[in-house]
Structure 1
Amino acid sequence: MNTQDTGANELDAVSPLDMNIRAPSYFVLQTGHHCAACKQSTPVFALAVPPGHESTEADIELDEDSANTMGLDPDAFHDWLFSPVQWLKVSGPALISQTGLLSESVAQTLQGLAPAFRPDPASHGQWTNFCEHCGKAVWEGLLYPTVGQPFCPKDDIAAARINVHTVNAPFAAFYGMCWSDSYRNKWPLFKRLGVECSEAD
């Protein structure tokens, strides 16, 4: 596992209001994948954060009486919509995908560590892997969700094929999908990051 220290500033300095996850450090993961377009093996990359990262609160807590209603009344919806961002500490690790935004320092680090992982203009700037041979975008559905895919290893042997670069610098991003340790199929990956998961967690 490689470690990099970029000497970045305080975490809050790189966490604008439009981000929904932040951490004092992060992981850049790298493994191989056969491109669906040209069938050649190409490096692919992913981002993960350690236990103790923070995420914004997206859920609304409803009391028992309001749980059966059709929705929030207009005043409650207004209060929720314009309430300040709340950050919650998350005890487990997370792998993120559908990444729409990254802080400038993280984006600069990725230029060196993961040159094939960059914004895709055809997908509204979502950070995407591109084949180093044919230049085609690699669909995330082939990388993350199913056991046996590059970032969903089935066991420790498969997980060992993933290179892990630890970056000791602040991380901030806006993601669309977060794979936490509640996804049991991600446990071999998280073990590769040094985090043992179990039913008791």
Structure 2
Amino acid sequence: MSGVKQRLQPAVVFAIALPLLLAVVVAGIAITARVRGDDAVAPPVAETGPLALAPVDAPDAGSGSCTTLLDALPATLDGGRATRPLAAPAPPASRAWAAVPRPVVLRCGLPRPAELTPTSALLAVNGVSWLRLDDGVPDPVVITYVAVDRPVYVVLTVPVDAGSAPLQQISDVVRDKLPTTAVAVR
């Protein structure tokens, strides 16, 4: 019996040592990767396929103002955000650009937002007055801006991670293509 115990001991030691050695090697690789800055997770990639947009009330989408604006919009927004095709049936007077984690979406010709009141705080960006609306959660995922001082309401929805570049670039186009009007709060 003592011969069997002596033969089992090296096998038991090997069975315990192998997983420990493997754990040490994996931990070493992870530490080395972190120190070097190599993350195993690739950064998210923007989707570029057709985007399905829900239909919304857009009574002025067929206006000349919306046509003029859409014709002047850039194919690519700052940061390399390329135009993203819209899935059929695409809502009228809409445009999208690929972005992470969500696309940048512009709609033109929507009705006056109910949130626009005489005491609404407006954000002036490159000569355009915008009403800022977030998605209502403590840490917003997207922010929606409504241009309220033009002949049509222009709505731009931007992922929070996109920063201010899309709003600034779109503001330039809105300023250059649509005349300024008085803000209609009621």
Q: Could you say which TM-score interval applies, normalised by the shorter chain?
A: under 0.3
Query: Structure 1-normalised TM-score?
Result: 0.20
Considering fraction of residues, name the structure with more helix.
2
More strand by share: 1
Higher relative contact order by CA 8 Å / sep ≥ 6: 1 or 2?
A: 1
Q: Larger Cα Rg: Structure 1 or Structure 2?
A: 2
